[in-house]
Amino acid sequence: MWDLLVVGSANADLVVGVERRPAAGETVLGSDLAVHPGGKGANQAVAAARLGARTALLARVGDDAHGRLLLDAQRAAGVDVSGVLTGGGPTGVAMITVDASGDNGIVVSPGANARLSPSDINAAEPLLATARVVSAQLEIPLETVAEVVRRLPPAGRFVLNASPPAPLPPEVLAACDPLVVNEHEARAVLSGARDPVPASVEHQARALLALGPRSVVITLGGRGALVAEADGESAHVPAVPVRAVDTTGAGDAFAAALAWRLGAGDPLPAAAAAACRVGALAVTREGAQPSFPTATEAGL
């Protein structure tokens, strides 16, 4: 039995530090290029495994140096990679600029991630059947995420990190427990479903619930997170104050910790509080996967 099966993307992160990100048509000088294993799916798998969760990854990488880098990083973290497929395109790449304040801008070339297909999910049904929690993101095709929902085991729980945001079909929304979005993503999901979008994050959470998810988590950066359940009130979970060095991967650390603690039986507010601690520690270190803390470091 896996504590968490992550179905998602695996990218090589190509990172350059800059004093400020360029405006349109502008060139700025940056630091030396650093190459790190990344991708929302691979990041969340590593983050969960580092916390102590029994974790497996279902993804697709290219038969290239970046793919080997990603597989090596997963194995080193203790993630089971028997569900990682090879070929169909080059390994996905994320081009990341990190400014002096620690904020980042990201452009993703999906590569092999775009070739992770519904038939791949069908073939991996035995893997899904042994997972307590299945999580996904939207750096893989939406029809593949929908197939994950169709193949969920009866006792399984589905956590969707709707990033990057996209219009979600009713059957996917109905399976989310929770739907995890940041403030930008919350507005993007709602803008395709209603007009106008509510101004307050509390009202946005209730509006998201009205679309069908069983629960919703809106991450608020340095202000923590808001959790809302269909059969209960919303609650604000405070942030852990830290000095941010690099925010790359912080959302992935949060989502992984949230899914892990939900699978362990924590109620949603407690799981979100643990996830806030993990996400806060991640921003105090450079990089994505290298920044993820252990449970001991996070005090969990």
Residue numbers annotated as active site: 252
Phi then psi dihedrals of residue 121, to 5 deg: -70, -45
DSSP 88: S
Taking the mean position of all CA atoms in its chain, how far away is CA 55?
Answer: 14
Taking the C-alpha atoms of residue 272 and residue 279, their distance in angstroms, rounded to an integer, is 10
Taking the C-alpha atoms of residue 159 and residue 177, their distance in angstroms, rounded to an integer, is 5
Bond from prior residue into 141 cis (ω within 30 degrees of 0):
no
Binding residues for K(+): 246, 248, 282, 285, 287, 291
Sign of torsion, CA 129 162 77 243? negative
Binding residues for substrate: 11-13, 39-43, 139, 252
Q: Which residues contact 10 (CB under 8 A, 6 or more apart)?
A: 37, 38, 39, 41, 42, 57, 59, 60, 61, 67, 70, 84, 91, 92, 112, 113
Binding residues: 11-13, 39-43, 139, 182, 219-224, 246, 248, 251-252, 282, 285, 287, 291
Binding residues for ATP: 182, 219-224, 251-252
Taking the C-alpha atoms of residue 132 and residue 270, their distance in angstroms, rounded to an integer, is 18
